[in-house]
Every structure is written in C-alpha cells, then in structure tokens.
Structure 1
Amino acid sequence: MNTRSSRRVGRPRAQERPASGLEPREEVLAAAAELFTTHGYTATTTRAVAERAGLRQASLYHYFDGKEAILAALLEGTVRPSLEVAHELVSRTQASPEARLWALCHSDVALLCGGPHNLGALYLLPEVQTERFAVFHRVRVELKAAYGELLAATEPGAALDAEDLALRTDLLFGLTESVILIRRADPGHDPQALAAATADAALRVAGVPQRSLARLRREGQQLLAAGA
C-alpha cells in the first residue's frame, strides 16, 4: 500500500494547534477574536492571526482578503443572531410586547457576553466607522429598529410621540450594549445574571411598572425556552 498517495492532502498548516473541531475559516475567526481583544486590532497582523490559527499566511487569504474582512465577519457575528431572534419575537404577536422586549434584550446581552472574548469592545475601534463595515452597521440599525417596534407596541410605548419613542429606543439599545463596557471593566460577571438584570432594567426604561417585572420576566423566559 502506498501510504504517501493515500494520505489526505489539504492546505498546509504553519504549525499544529490542539484539535478544536473548527473548520479553517472558523479557526481564523477564533484566533482573530483572541488576538484583537487581547493584543489590540492595530497591533495584530494577518501573519499573527494565521500562525495562531495554525495556517500559513497565504492560506488565510483563501478565506479572507485581509484584516478588515476578518474584523467585519467578527462584528457581524455579534448582531446577526440577535436580529434573527428579533424577527422571530416581533412575529410572536400572541405574547405581550413587554415580554418579547425582555426576551430580546436578554438574548442580545447573552450573545454579547457569552463568548470567551469581549468582541463588543471592537465596536469602539475608529476603523469600524469606515464604509468597509457598512453591512455590520446596517444589521445593527435593523436590530435597533426591532427594539423600537416592540417598544412602540407596549402600553407605555404607545403613549409616546415619535420623538420620545426614538429617544427611548436609543436608551434601550444603549443600555443593552452598555454590557460591553461592564464586561471590559469586570470580566467576571455571570452572563446569564447580567442578561436578566439588563432585561429587567430595559423594561423599567420602557416605562413598565416594577410590580409587573416578575410576571414579564417569566413570560420572557418562556419565550426564550420555546426557541424564540
């Protein structure tokens, strides 16, 4: 038997990493997430990302055309899942809008805080304001609009005029994303506890009375458990 000819041929790796089960593209994203958040985006080169992923630098360019493309993919991964949840919750009109808003906020915070690296902190990079990241910004705007749609459907939200509704939506969305700074200052927070506390606070910002929070929290948890 010719073992040389039967050996599987793939893209050569620069070095071996412990088996992660990830495809090479996902290995690159995992390596970049670690390096961007620990060493800094500017200080990290594509060579360093490739080496951390166990690939040759030339192989990295098979998946991404450069460092900005890697960053864009990481950022989009912090908002697309939440937008999918938001679309599902907006359509679940049999549930109260307050419970759906709680569930969206909880899900969004859990995503932002659930990974090993604080990718949300990358939102603050000046590079993210360029046209290269237009898709990320578009998805983020759609996500904020879903917050606004659910807020407008609540009893307190229905009493707001357009200007106040827009302001309250900005506050809700900003509250959710504030966990990025909380996590940066104290990485030890339990993601689920932080998600629940932020979702409670979001309903209070929305104008929901304190006495209703426990019931709406239960309803929101049921929505999430049902796969909303």
Structure 2
Amino acid sequence: MSTSGARRVGRPRAAQRPDSGLAPRAELLEAAAELFTTKGYAATTTRAVAERAGMRQATMYHYVSGKEELLADLLESTVTPSLTLARALLADVDRPAEGRLWELCRRDVELLCGGPHNLGGLYLLPEVRSERFAGFHAVRAELKDAYRQLIADTGAGSTLAKGELSLRTDLLFGLIEGVILVHRSDPERSVAVFAAATADAALRIAGC
C-alpha cells in the first residue's frame, strides 16, 4: 500500500510558524523570554508559551516541566556567561585588577541589556525569591563574590576593612543589576556606551 499520502507520525505543531532553526527546548525558552518580558510571568500560561513556540501544550511537557523551569533557565542564562568570564579574570593575575574589574562590569551590563528581551527585569519577580530558584541564587552569589575579590585586588580595595569591602561590593553589584531599570526607561540607548559608562561609575564606587 502506498504511504505517500499517509500522515507523518510525530508531535504535531499547533500552528504554522517560520522555522527558526532552534531545537524545541530552545524554541520554548525564546517564546517564554518574549512572553514573560512583555505579558508578565504570572499572566503567561504554559499554553501561551507552547503556542508561541509553535507546538501543542502537551508536547511542551516532553521538553520542560513547566513555567518555573523555563524561568529558572532564563534567569541563569543572565548570570552564567558573566560568571565564566569572572572566573577567567580572577585567574588572569598578570593584568591589573582595575582593568579586570572594569571589563567584568562592562560585559555584565552588555549581557543584561544587550539581548532582544529585557531578561534582567525578571529578577524583580516576587516568584524568584522561592527555593525553586536556588540554582540561580547560587550562581548569582558566586558572581557577586567574584566582584568582591576583584575589588579587594585593586589598589584601593586592598586597603579596605572587611565591612567597607562588603559595603562597596553591595553598592557596585547593586549598580550593575540596577541597569535593568535604567535600560528599560530608554531601551534605544546604545548598549555599548551605556555599559562603558556603567563600568566607569562602578570603578569610582570601588574607589579606583
């Protein structure tokens, strides 16, 4: 019997959508990023994420457990590249600490503000405080500690008492994460210029 007209077996897509070339999980993350940052996390249903990704809701659960997993992955994606860079900069002891700190600040701001969606804004969600997002909080804490170590390695930082070093780390890290709100107020601003200016301001906070 001819099978030329037979229906292909598989997980059908809910609607036709241009092929993005992304794997299904990446497609879901992209859809979630768009919807969470434009419609809001609480207002976005798993059905809406699945439909935006061009698949059925039941199919989505083959790849992710639900909205929380998508949000956790998106949050960690805003930190892990900066943490990788921070580890490399901490190991590069032949370079002046001031330059390494400036580079981390600049690159971190570019990561938070440079994508198509303002993922940094997801930090402000009340849901993020729950234990479900412990992985995100762990990598964020490690990144903050890398900032502390780089500040301590600078000429100014090496003279700070422990409490003062902790305060300056809090202030500097708060500045970096605070760019989320500043960027949202003027998304057309050049990210490269914004990142460099923020890094300059961060070094002044560090006392450099």
User: C-alpha distance in 2, partners of 1:11/1:101?
Assistant: 48
The answer to whether residue 44 in structure 2 is matched with residue 48 in structure 1 is no
* Partner residue, 1:167: 167
1:78-106 per-position Cα deviation (integer Å, ceiling 9, x unaligned): 00111001001100111110000001001
From the superposition, tell whether residues 161 and 187 of structure 1 become closer, same or farther in structure 2 (CA, over 3 Å). Answer: same
* Partner residue, 1:85: 85
Cα shift at 1:126: 0.6
User: C-alpha distance in 1, partners of 2:115/2:84?
Assistant: 18
1:101-112 to 2 correspondence within 5 Å?
101-112=101-112
User: C-alpha distance in 2, partners of 1:8/1:138?
Assistant: 44
* Partner residue, 2:38: 38
* Partner residue, 1:19: 19
Cα shift at 1:43: 0.5
User: C-alpha distance in 1, partners of 2:52/2:86?
Assistant: 34
Gap regions ≥5 residues in structure 2: none
* Partner residue, 1:217: none
Paired residues, number: 207
For residue 129 of structure 1, what is the amino acid of its counterpart? R
Gap regions ≥5 residues in structure 1: 209-228
User: C-alpha distance in 2, partners of 1:8/1:123?
Assistant: 42
Cα shift at 1:30: 0.6
| RMSD of aligned residue pairs (Cα, Å) | 1.4
User: C-alpha distance in 1, partners of 2:160/2:109?
Assistant: 25
From the superposition, tell whether residues 8 and 23 of structure 1 become closer, same or farther in structure 2 (CA, over 3 Å). Answer: farther
User: C-alpha distance in 2, partners of 1:93/1:179?
Assistant: 28
The TM-score, its normalising length taken from structure 1, stands at: 0.87
Cα shift at 1:9: 5.2
Cα shift at 1:11: 2.6
User: C-alpha distance in 2, partners of 1:158/1:173?
Assistant: 18
The answer to whether residue 121 in structure 2 is matched with residue 121 in structure 1 is yes
After TM superposition, where is structure 1 displaced by more than 3 Å over at least 4 residues in a row? Answer: 1-5, 7-10
Q: Secondary structure at the match of 1:178?
A: helix
User: C-alpha distance in 2, partners of 1:204/1:70?
Assistant: 37
* Partner residue, 1:188: 188
Q: Secondary structure at the match of 2:11?
A: coil
From the superposition, tell whether residues 204 and 9 of structure 1 become closer, same or farther in structure 2 (CA, over 3 Å). Answer: farther
For residue 64 of structure 2, what is the amino acid of its counterpart? F
Cα shift at 1:113: 0.7
Cα shift at 1:158: 0.4
1:145-224 to 2 correspondence within 5 Å?
145-208=145-208
The TM-score, its normalising length taken from structure 2, stands at: 0.95
